[in-house]
């Protein structure tokens, strides 16, 4: 009987001892790996050129669907920001050139400000996957890299359609001047 009680007591002490111990794991860093330049897959297809806006997104997650979704979302955000910045540069240049010819451009500026938002709404469904690479890391997590692209010509056509469909802009809109500004800004890519 004493042996049975001793074993039970020893078992309880071991359980208490193991559960009360907190392990302090230290991160082991491989210095060689830190110094090695890491390249994100698909980056070779993320460069904007004369025909396409392109962006790459990369994400790590515990499962494939989450990894893909995060990478795609990152690429979409980057591409949307690129389109917004380019559209804002074009409209700001156009408005500054029109400023010398027209007295009241405040309404026109407000209408043009909405143009970038509309172009992004239009562009997101038009984005195509240019590259998608998925791999499994040593720790079991999934890394996905996705490069997205959208046609500059499709953006240009939609931009001009938006301008022509807005009555307030149409009254003060000089199509040829806007086209010239557009092409000058686009040459900078």
Give residue-wise pLDDT tens across range 133-146.
999 999 999 999 99
Residues 123/96, Cβ–Cβ less than 8 Å? no
On whether the CB atoms of residues 178 and 108 are closer than 8 A, the answer is no
Q: What is the pLDDT of residues 60-106, one digit of tens each?
A: 999 999 999 999 999 999 999 998 888 888 888 888 877 655 556 66
Residue the block writes with tokens 């078992």: 11
The first and second tokens of residue 166, run together, are 């807005």
Confirm whether 59 is domain-assigned: yes
Asked if the structure places residue 9 within a domain, the reply is: no
Rg (CA), the chain: 28
Query: Does residue 56 contact residue 147 with C-beta atoms inside 8 Å?
Result: yes
Alpha carbon distance 11, 184 (integer Å): 80
For the full predicted model, state whether its pTM sits above 0.75: no
Structural domain contains residue 73: yes
Q: Which of 40-49, 56-65, 77-86, 172-181 has the lowest mean pLDDT?
A: 40-49
In the chain, the number of structural domains is: 1
Is residue 174 in a domain? yes
Q: Is residue 20 part of a domain?
A: no
Q: Does residue 87 fall inside a structural domain?
A: yes
Other CB atoms within 10 A of residue 174 CB:
14
Q: Give residue 87's domain range.
A: 38-186
Q: Within a domain: residue 126?
A: yes
- The pLDDT of residue 94 is 83
173, part of any domain? yes
């Amino acid at each position: 009987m004493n042996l049975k009680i001793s074993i039970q007591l020893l078992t309880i002490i071991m359980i208490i001892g193991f559960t009360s111990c907190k392990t302090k794991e230290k991160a082991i860093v491989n210095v060689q790996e830190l110094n090695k330049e890491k390249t994100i897959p698909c980056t070779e297809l993320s460069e904007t050129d004369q025909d396409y806006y392109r962006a790459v997104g990369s994400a790590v997650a515990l499962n494939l669907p989450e990894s893909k979704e995060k990478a795609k979302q990152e690429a979409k955000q980057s591409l949307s920001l690129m389109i917004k910045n380019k559209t804002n540069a074009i409209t700001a240049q156009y408005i500054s050139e029109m400023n010398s010819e027209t007295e009241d451009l405040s309404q026109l500026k407000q209408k043009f400000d909405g143009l970038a938002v509309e172009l992004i709404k239009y562009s997101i469904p038009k984005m195509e996957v240019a590259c998608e690479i998925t791999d499994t890391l040593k720790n079991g997590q999934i890394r996905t890299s996705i490069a997205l692209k959208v046609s500059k010509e499709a953006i240009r056509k939609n931009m001009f359609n938006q301008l022509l469909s807005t009555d307030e802009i149409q009254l003060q809109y000089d199509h040829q001047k806007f086209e010239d500004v557009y092409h000058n800004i686009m040459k900078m890519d």
